[in-house]
Amino acid sequence: MDEAFAFFRDALGLPLLAEEVVQDQGVRAALLDLGNGFLELLQPTVPDTGIARYLDRRGEGLHHVCLEVPDIDAALAGLKQDSVPLVDETPRRGLTGTIAFLHPSALHGVLVELVHGPTAFRRPVPDPWPLAHDPGGMGLGGGVVIQRLDHLILAVQQLQEAAAGWTRVLGLQAQTPHHPEGSHLQLARLPLADDAQGGAYLELAQATTEQHRLARFIAERGEGMFSISLEVDDLDTAVAELRAKDIPVSDPEPGAWPGTRLARIPRASAHGVAVQLIERAP
């Protein structure tokens, strides 16, 4: 956890909101602020727990996606009625509130957590935190300003089939598929909230050639969470500041969606998490 703080909290400047040892789950959990959502870090405190076994089997990386629901009991009842595979038949306590997990087989390899959170973790439309925020004393001088969670990229084998699954299970509606020019990808957005309210989205991504890194990822690990995309206000400055701290970042390049540029931080430098920094045109 402390090593992960050095990257996610100190280098990326994500404020720490809460930290707790959840005894019944055998984890140390920390919640970092993404403005329109949270990034949760999990460290096992005892062996032979779900997180410990995951780390032993797959190593560090993205573990699950958590979605807030207004009534978790009603949500679970509806999922049971529809015979959706569940990990939790009844809700239980988590760091952010009352939680329950769906089985990864329900949504193409993605482990989904539903949460009904306490009001302490709910905020209005977020404002970017001050440029001077530097909790770990890294001396970034405000260069890296994470505006919000932009989207999560989910690797799928069949785009239309996956989109239909997310609609059937959770009611999320995919937008018209997008084929970026010159790429070997088919993409579709699953909006999670109104974009005007700083909402993030899930991006379903299908490779159209076996040589693409997305296809290689699926061949090695199966369908599931591929990477996280964080919006920055100034991509060139963010890249320069991170490189000054010896964090490898790719050169900025046009993104898959119109009006975007992005740079990538490799998994090996971000605790197994493939991170995209994305800049959107005003």
User: In the beta sheet, which residues pair with residue 229?
Assistant: 151, 276
Check residue 110 and give its pLDDT: 97
Predicted local distance difference test score (pLDDT) of residue 93: 86
Task: Give the residues of the chain that fall short of pLDDT 50.
Answer: 124-143
- Domain annotation for the chain: domains and CATH numbers: 2-121 (3.10.180.10), 146-280 (3.10.180.10)
pLDDT number for residue 135: 41
Determine phi and psi for 263, rounding to 5 degrees.
-140, 150
Q: Output the pLDDT for position 12.
A: 94
What's residue 139's pLDDT?
36
Dump pLDDT digits (tens) for 60-112: 999 999 999 999 999 999 999 999 999 999 999 888 889 999 999 999 999 99
pLDDT at 132: 34
